[in-house]
A and B are shown apart, each in its own frame.
Chain A
Amino acid sequence: MRNNSKAIRIIIYVGLVFWLLVNLFPVYWMFTFSLKSNAEIFGENVVGLPREWLWSNYATALKTGNMGRYFLNSAIVAVATIIITLLVALMATFALTRMIWKRQKKMNRFFMLGLTIPIHASIVPVYVTLSRLHLLNTYFALIIPYSAFSLSMGILVCTGFMNEIPRELDEAACIDGCGTWGVFWRIIVPLMKPAVATVGIYTFLQCWNELMFANIFISKSDLRTLPVGVQALSGQYTTEWGPIGAALVLATFPMLFIYIFLSKKIQDSFIAGAIKG
């Protein structure tokens, strides 16, 4: 019996290690071929470490490939989206959980519809509206839709955290002469730090990797975000794999770098986003 269960444990372990390698290999391969020459990638040295470390691939990706610019664009869009999502979600959650009015529950459920609405619903109408307002090919064309689609998740997470703040705090602040705005800014918002981190991380990941809107609402090459930029770059460099590899690494490493330090927090924000719904 004991031998049997030990055998099963070993089989499970082998399976887990196998899947670990399946997940690590593409990233390892990406890092190594980003530093290789075509000759190495195409035959001499397909999966080994690079023999000659060709950092020039990175220079090509940054200069000719314009990756620095795409990086900046993605960062601007992501930061603006996070700020707007958080501000709007915190305000709405305050009205939904703390203030006193009828139909709060209904309104909350209305916002939660956003968790199931596919972005396809918005493509044509938002495209037409943005083009009439001459907002296509601006950062706003991405920031506004991204914020709107992150909002439901933001309200969901904020509601959970805000309900845990004791209402006596509001009373005390009130007696000390705080108005509604004062309570919101000085008492509630500072206590919402964990929610802010969760929503911020989740929103960041959503807009950093988004492709469909970014592809359609932006056609000017100077305003492209990373996913679209990488896609365009690989169309230009079909025969040279090194610089493409470098571009892929440049688009990925900030994410992986943050993930190394915040893996628990990032995982938790995904769990919160799915399960509390």
Chain B
Amino acid sequence: MKKLYSNKWLILIFLLPALILFCGVLIAPIGASFYFSLFNWKGIGPMKFIGLENYKELFTSNSIGFLKALGNALILAALSVFIQLPLALALALALGKKIKGERTFLAVYFMPVLISTVVIGQLWLKIYNPDYGILNVFLRSIGLESWAKIWLGTKQTAFGAVLVPILWQYVGYHMLLLYAGVKSVPPELLEAGMLDGASNWQINRYIVLPSIKPIIRISVIFAVTGSLKSFDMIYVLTNGGPMHATEVPSTLMISMLFLRNRYGMGSAIAVILILLCFGFALLINLIFRESEE
């Protein structure tokens, strides 16, 4: 059998489809994106080499608004980590306590993750609709007429209005991961804690949290990289407007590519996003490793 399993040709045949697919669609394009980002290129016609000019323009031009978009993505990342995750953790801890209806709560909380973001975005468009949306209808009905706003169309409120559904949709996802972690804490540990007279709070703080640290790390990485990449909800709700108020790097990249035909510039944004995602994943791993020592 050893001989059979060491056949170089067979190994290659088994690996080849995966290698072609993986390198062709994921690995090679990273290099290609970087290469394109060094050119001024309209997608067709001649490519003009301009070195790092695209990057320079992104970071210095005010009219493109890349720094604003990046800032928005970082705000979203921070809110994910400091609002969405604690909420998810609280739900996971509560559900981990063998509460009545545990499975129903879990199933419903996770449901928004499965529904297409386009559908959820369309629903929120209706909720925010200035004339008939239930938010303004509700505000008017309780006499807060003056609080009713054109939520997605006003520069001051648009970004906040976009953040709410984004943060809401994925609470269930992080809750599920953390809940799986809470459930995998050995019951003996919890019993030992209770025998020693630890309060609920102390058990959570000193037994459960330390044991689910690896999962918290994964959740933080997903929350941060997911925020940097966020696209769907913003595309549906505002597509970056009004006046770039809700712009994030992904929406900017798409409009660079397919509205303005600036393929080099679009690629430069893609490259920055790839670097940021890897960079933040490494950084978060490092922070968690530090705190373990």
Contact = CB atoms under 8 A, between A and B. Distances in A.
Interface of A: 5, 8, 12-13, 15-16, 19-20, 22-24, 26-27, 29-30, 33, 41-43, 46-47, 87-89, 91-92, 94-96, 98-101, 107, 111, 113-114, 116-128, 144-145, 147-149, 151-152, 155, 170-171, 174, 179-180, 184, 205, 208-209, 211-212, 215-216, 226-228, 230-231, 234, 241, 244, 248, 251-252, 255-256, 259, 263, 266-267, 270-271, 274-275, 277
B250 to A, nearest CB: 7
Contacts of B108: 20, 23-24
A35 B160 CA distance: 31
Given A100-B5, A271-B176, A125 B109 contact: no
6 contacts: A23-B172, A29-B123, A121-B274, A124-B263, A248-B122, A251-B119
A91 B111 contact: no
B62 interface: no
Interface string B91-121: 1001101010001111111111111111110
Which of A42, A117, A171 is most buried by chain B, counting CB atoms within 10 A of its CB? A117
Contact of A101 (B6, B29, B200, B225): B6
B106 A125 contact: no
B218 interface: yes
Chain B: interface size category:
35 or more
A124 B36 contact: yes
Interface string B1-38: 11011111011001101110110111111101100100
* 4 cross-chain pairs, A with B, having the tightest CB-CB distances, nearest first: A148-B25, A92-B18, A125-B29, A95-B14
Interface of B: 1-2, 4-8, 10-11, 14-15, 17-19, 21-22, 24-30, 32-33, 36, 43, 90-91, 94-95, 97, 99, 103-120, 122-127, 131-132, 134, 137, 168, 172-173, 176-177, 180-181, 200, 215, 218, 222, 225, 228-229, 231-232, 235-236, 250, 253-254, 257-258, 263, 266-267, 269-270, 273-274, 277-278, 281
B18 A88 contact: yes
B180 A120 contact: no
B15 A13 contact: no
B122 A149 contact: no
Given A91-B17, A120-B270, A270-B173, A252 B117 contact: no
Given A91-B14, A92-B18, A148 B24 contact: yes
Given A124-B36, A271-B176, A16 B6 contact: no
Given A91-B17, A122-B29, A211 B111 contact: no
Given A123-B257, A230-B118, A267-B110, A180 B177 contact: no
A92 B14 contact: yes
B231 A111 contact: no
A215 B14 CA distance: 33
Contacts of B168: 22
A88 B18 CA distance: 6
B148 to A, nearest CB: 14
A43 B1 CA distance: 75
Contact of B116 (A98, A122, A227, A274): A227
Given A114-B22, A251-B116, 20 more contacts: A41-B132, A88-B17, A88-B18, A118-B225, A119-B229, A120-B269, A120-B270, A121-B30, A124-B32, A149-B25, A170-B5, A180-B7, A227-B119, A251-B118, A256-B111, A267-B176, A270-B110, A270-B176, A275-B180, A277-B218
Contacts of B270: 120-121, 123-124
A135 B144 CA distance: 54
Contacts of A179: 4
A116 B108 CA distance: 28
B29 A126 contact: yes
Contacts of B110: 263, 267, 270
Contacts of A147: 21
A228 B118 CA distance: 8
Contacts of B200: 5, 8
Given A209-B116, A252-B116, A121 B29 contact: yes
Contacts of A42: 131-132
Contacts of A230: 116, 118-119, 122
